[in-house]
Structure 1
Amino acid sequence: MTDPLDKATAKAPPTVGEGCLSRYDPEALGPEDGTEFPDAAQLWETLQKQSPPDDPERKR
């Protein structure tokens, strides 16, 4: 088993914005950062169908 702290010391991707608006720079992210999620659209559609019609989160 590898040391779990090895990943904690890995270099984080660059960020854009400051404070509460800070986020990872999408242009700097790649597959090695865990950005591959080919079924995201299907998951989103499934979750939208499961939400009640009057759910305010559904309108986003």
Structure 2
Amino acid sequence: MNNPLDKATSKAPATMGEGCLSRYDPDDLDSDDGTEFPGAAELWEQEQRKSESSEE
């Protein structure tokens, strides 16, 4: 039987460690991987102000 994951177009980066200590291998990551979001703090503050104004 063929592995259905062989048809996937994207693959997770390599990991190191096991169980709770498992994490992505930094040597396998490049600029396309990661979660950099420079506007996150500003967006969070904006959403908090919306939430506070709707509670009043």
TM category (shorter chain) comes to 0.3 to 0.5
What is the TM-score when the length of structure 2 is the normalising length? 0.43
What is the TM-score when the length of structure 1 is the normalising length? 0.41
